[in-house]
Chains A and B, each alone.
Chain A
Amino acid sequence: MPRLVNRHPDRISRLLLGLLPFLLVLAVYLLASAERLAANPNDKLLPGFAAFGAAIWRMAALPSERSGELLLWADTMASLARLAWGLGISAAIGLVVGIVNGVIPLARAGLSPFVAGLSLIPPMAVLPILFIVFGLGEVSKVALIVIGIAPVIVRDLQARALELPVELIVKAQTLGANTWTLILRVVLPQLLPRLLDALRLSLGGAWLFLIAAEAIAASEGLGYRIFLVRRYLAMDVILPYVAWITLLAFAIDWALRLLSRRAFPWFAASAGGGR
């Protein structure tokens, strides 16, 4: 019998082993839910699957009485738009400032400590300031995401730029590259796939700030709905929304990984792209 460290599961066992924890959680939920429902048929904390089905149908397929919208889709579109803006702006800031900081020592000396300081401010603690500056509309929600994740992406890309082999930089210069061509032809192509990686790692944070922003002031959005119905403990709506958010986050992560693999196959093949 081989040692445990050398035993690799085949395709099917890997799938089954991967499913096992999910099934266990599901089993725990179903048993606990049945126990609570037996004690109180109206229990709202752990509703049964029939209640979930009814709630999903109501949110996704029946127009709301107040606005006539299909709430789940309206919420999803609102949240995804905010998330896309937040991630896009953060990526742009991260790429530009990260590269400049990583390549130009003068800029790094000036900006790096500031960005480091900025990234350590808990954004939720300065919310009143954000309201005054950005108002309470869409801008403030996007801004909260950007303030939350852009500094982290900047610092990551700066570190990745500094990791580029110095030989590469020197060689480009001996071949006649000036700063601008060096950035455009050597550093930028190297950093783009790493930007995608940084974005993937920031996704969790971006969702966190999005939900927080929607909890503070909003009239639609996934986070808004969750915090609204939390007022009367409607777990039959909250839990499907949480599952839906998880699925969306997973899909975005998967799409970014696919993009990275398609657009930068050389990166996926190298050691850094194994994730």
Chain B
Amino acid sequence: MRALSLRLPLNRLAAAVALLVLVAVQSLGGLAHAAEGNKFRVAWTIYAGWMPWDYAAKAGIVKKWADKYGIEIEVVQLNDYVESINQYTAGAFDGCVMTNMDALTIPAAGGVDSTALIVGDFSNGNDGVVLKGKGKALRDIKGQKVNLVELSVSHYLLARALESAGMSEKDITTVNTSDADIVAAWATPQVSAVVTWNPLLAEIKGQPDAVEVFDSSKVPGEIIDLMVVNSATLARQPALGKALVGAWFETMALMSRDDEAGRKARAAMAEASGTDLKGYDAQLATTRMFYAPAEAVAFATSPELPQTMQRVAAFSFAHGLLGEGAKSAEAVGMAFPGGRTLGDAGNVKLRFDAATMALAADGKL
């Protein structure tokens, strides 16, 4: 019997394989519920409006606020923006920074009920359409190939630009180009039109023959940068929301100061984003930051926000971004402060929440 089991340990082999399968299933399927207990993970990627998260984590501001509410928050930097949102949607993170359009099309359209906890800023010139050739105007884009990251906010901005000049996407051809390579692409003779964001935009605008013909300051408040948190996690542990909002606005107050401490904070953010204080201040100039919580609350409760989101939903639906099951732009419901909803009220997956920011504005955190 012993000899036989040495030669052919089939039972044990089968048991080992079954165990392996079980572990694999658990680790893949179990991602759906990341956070348990009082430990939370939020993800961020490099962008002018999100650098404060890095500073808040490194300077201990996040830890201070997490300790105050008796929880633990880990702030993780990812190098790939889309991958960070995908990871959040898959359940690997409890929160993640993203734009309003991506919040609608990735987690919300993917059935992950998400809350826009913090409205950090909106792009006020940080995204732009650039044409090659002196004296070019927006109407010259007709018939051109346009290099951009397709289906991103750049694509949305392009659609808005074309709309403003009485054109549509049928008048141009889009070429999907990775953001990492768009500056190098601009240097090649075949590329005559790009849509991109800062700091890449500034890099391209700095080249001779580059003319910016449209930018996001012409559609203010439509490209919004958010901190998005899983709604179920937030309902289970509201302290997460309070700690994140508290840490964020403490950092905002610090970095907006025009003294040595404020400059120091901004210089640290500049360095982490690979530029210097001058370069970072230039990026901040085209980013409408909400330094005071009251400003952010005013923006999140304004009647313009649902209008913007309606436009974004229409664009997303027209490009198939709400999923193939979506029958209309109203398929994914959205909720706004004051009980207003947009789209399918029975399928609300994206909630703009001003309540926690209002606590910060009232100094009640």
User: Which residues of A are interface residues toward B (Cβ below 8 A)?
Assistant: 1, 4, 24, 27-29, 31-36, 39-46, 54-55, 58, 127-128, 131-132, 135-137, 215-219, 224, 227-228, 230-234, 236
Asked if B24 and A28 make an inter-chain contact with CB atoms under 8 angstroms apart, the answer reads yes
Asked if A228 and B324 make an inter-chain contact with CB atoms under 8 angstroms apart, the answer reads no
Give chain B residues whose Cβ lies under 8 Å from the Cβ of A227. Answer: 176, 178
Residue of A39, A218, A231 near B33 (CB, 8 A) is A39
B17 at the interface (CB under 8 A from A): yes
Give chain A residues whose Cβ lies under 8 Å from the Cβ of B89. Answer: 44-45, 233
Asked if B106 and A232 make an inter-chain contact with CB atoms under 8 angstroms apart, the answer reads yes
User: Which residues of B are interface residues toward A (Cβ below 8 A)?
Assistant: 4, 7, 17, 21, 24-25, 28-33, 82, 85-86, 89-90, 105-106, 109-112, 147, 149-152, 173-178, 181, 184-185, 187-191, 321, 323-325
Asked if A231 and B82 make an inter-chain contact with CB atoms under 8 angstroms apart, the answer reads yes
Residue of A40, A128, A217, A219 near B187 (CB, 8 A) is A128
Instruction: Report Cα–Cα, A236/B324, bound state, in Å.
Output: 10
Closest A residue, CB atoms, query B90: A45
Instruction: Report Cα–Cα, A232/B324, bound state, in Å.
Output: 12
Instruction: Report Cα–Cα, A175/B175, bound state, in Å.
Output: 60
Asked if A40 and B112 make an inter-chain contact with CB atoms under 8 angstroms apart, the answer reads yes
A97 to chain B, nearest CB (A): 28
Give chain B residues whose Cβ lies under 8 Å from the Cβ of A233. Answer: 85-86, 89-90, 106, 110
Asked if A131 and B185 make an inter-chain contact with CB atoms under 8 angstroms apart, the answer reads yes
Asked if B32 and A43 make an inter-chain contact with CB atoms under 8 angstroms apart, the answer reads yes
Residue of A34, A216, A230, A236 near B86 (CB, 8 A) is A230
Give 23 A-B contacts (CB < 8 Å), ordered by A residue. Answer: A4-B7, A28-B28, A29-B28, A35-B25, A36-B31, A39-B33, A40-B110, A40-B111, A40-B112, A42-B111, A44-B89, A44-B110, A44-B323, A45-B86, A127-B181, A132-B184, A132-B187, A136-B147, A136-B177, A136-B188, A216-B181, A231-B151, A231-B152
Residue of B149, B152, B175, B324 near A55 (CB, 8 A) is B324
Give chain B residues whose Cβ lies under 8 Å from the Cβ of A54. Answer: 324
Residue of B33, B150, B181 near A128 (CB, 8 A) is B181
Give chain A residues whose Cβ lies under 8 Å from the Cβ of B184. Answer: 127-128, 131-132
Asked if A32 and B24 make an inter-chain contact with CB atoms under 8 angstroms apart, the answer reads yes
Give chain B residues whose Cβ lies under 8 Å from the Cβ of A27. Answer: 21
User: Besides A24-B17, A41-B111, A136-B185, 20 other CB < 8 A contacts?
Assistant: A27-B21, A40-B112, A42-B109, A42-B325, A127-B184, A131-B181, A132-B187, A132-B188, A135-B188, A137-B190, A216-B181, A217-B176, A217-B181, A218-B175, A218-B176, A224-B176, A227-B178, A230-B86, A233-B89, A236-B324
